[in-house]
Amino acid sequence: MGSGIITTHGVDPLVAWQTRVHWFRDAAITAAITTLLSGSVLVSEDGVLEVSWLPMAEPDSGYLFLRRPGGLTAEIVLRAVGSSDLVTHDRRDSRPAPDRWQSLAPDGSTRWELFNCVTHRLRALRS
Mean pLDDT by 10 residues, the chain (127 residues): 92 92 86 96 92 96 94 94 79 93 92 96 85
pLDDT recorded at residue 127: 60
DSSP string, 45-88: BTTTBEEEEEE-SSTTEEEEEEE-TTSEEEEEEEEE--GGG-SS
Indicate the pTM of the whole model.
0.92
pLDDT recorded at residue 21: 85
pLDDT recorded at residue 31: 94
pLDDT recorded at residue 17: 92
- Amino acid identity for residue 95 in this structure: R
User: What single-letter DSSP state applies at residue 92?
Assistant: S
pLDDT recorded at residue 60: 96
Nearest to 110 by CA among 70, 29, 52: 52
User: What single-letter DSSP state applies at residue 22?
Assistant: G
